[in-house]
Amino acid sequence: MPKLLDKPHSRSPPGRERGWQRETHATVSTGRLESDALEVELPGDSSWAKIAVIFFPAARYHARMNITIIIAAAGVSRRFGEQDKLAQDLGGRALLLRTVEQFTKREEVGSIIVAGPPEDFDAFKEKFAATLGFHGAKVVKGGSVDRWETVRNALAEISDDTTHVGVHDAARPGVSDKLLDRVFAAARTLPAVIPAVDVAGTVKRVSADVTEVNEDEDAVADLILGESSRATIATRTVEQTVDRSNLVEVQTPQVFEIGLLRRAYAQDDLTGATDDASLVERLGEPVHVVEGDSANLKVTTPADLVLMRAILGVKPPAERPTHKRF
């Protein structure tokens, strides 16, 4: 059983004004290794809002963090259509800038790297570099095919004094201070931390094969419009209903100790990795999950943009007074 070596003492943790309620430290001995115990009471009423006691080597706790944030902004965004998703207006500022601004006011963040599309890099810089530079962000070329290429390119630009790396989707402008509080606080102790939300709906696995179904025949419509006017509906077959117990939908930012993330990206085969945590998992290292935020959605389609404007309480340009559109 762990033995307390000295009396725990309460202190006012960083970020208390943003919702932290109590943080207590104690030195603990297991007989082999002296450790710290971190007790954190998270705000909120959900099942995640409970007191968590984490035992960890005393040397693991990072009193001072210097996080480099990598903004992955090299995606093609085919599902959004012809328009530039990252340039869409959110309350008078581009979506990408809204995302970056969420990190500029955090004292834990020392630098920000934005990795843009390599095929259209000059146009990307012309559109965003000046404003990003004003916020202290550096713009580099991302990958041309997979997301991991983008992060790997950005990792090569990280300064030597970085203690942690946080990787965030450029299309998640709704990340809140409370969510960053949770992720960063956990990352002071744990080497790999990601936010996630519980899967709420029913989850089913379906077939890869698609079957097309045509509308019923309508002799009058066919006579007027022809058979080609009938709607065709694509369907797939349910193969299994998946037990959603302990299933979560992962979000960003995902924060890692710099050494761990470098090891993850030094692996020979990075193919198939859809997020950075999966590469850490391939090393056999644990990845820890904290409560995410349903408002931290990724803008993928035009409908998502409408929802994000509602979440942020901003109107599209056409609905704002002329002097507030820019």
pLDDT of 8 reads 38
SS3 139: strand
Q: What pLDDT, in 10s, does the model give residues 166-190?
A: 999 999 999 999 999 999 999 999 9
Same structural domain for residues 81 and 156? yes
What pLDDT, on the 0 to 100 scale, is given for residue 212? 87
Q: What's the token pair of residue 280?
A: 């850490």
Q: State the pLDDT at residue 95.
A: 97
Residues 169, 22 within the same domain: no
Structure confidence by residue, pLDDT tens digits, 14-56: 443 333 333 444 433 333 333 444 444 555 555 555 434 444 4
Note whether 102 and 213 are same-domain residues. Answer: no
Q: Which long-range contacts (CB under 8 A, 24 or more apart) does 233-237 make?
A: 234/210, 235/210, 235/211, 236/206, 236/207, 236/208, 236/209, 236/210, 236/211, 237/206, 237/207, 237/209, 237/211
Would you state the pLDDT for residue 228?
A: 57
Question: Per the domain annotation, does 26 fall within a domain?
Answer: yes
Residue 94 and residue 115 in one domain: yes
Q: Are residues 105 and 227 in the same domain?
A: no
Query: Does 326 fall in a domain?
Result: no
The range of the structural domain enclosing residue 281 comes to 67-200+245-318
Of 150-159, 229-238, 256-265, the least confident: 229-238
**324 occurs within a structural domain:** no
Does 325 map to a domain? no
pLDDT exceeds 70 at position 10: no
Angstrom CA distances, 68 to 7, 136, 246, 253, 294, stand at 35, 12, 30, 11, 24
Residue 304 lies in a domain: yes
Q: Which of 215, 242, 269 is the last residue of a domain?
A: 242
Whether 114 and 18 share a structural domain: no
Looking at the predicted structure, is the pLDDT value of residue 299 above 60? yes
Name the nearest CA neighbour of 287 among 162, 180, 156, 196.
196
20 & 136 share domain: no
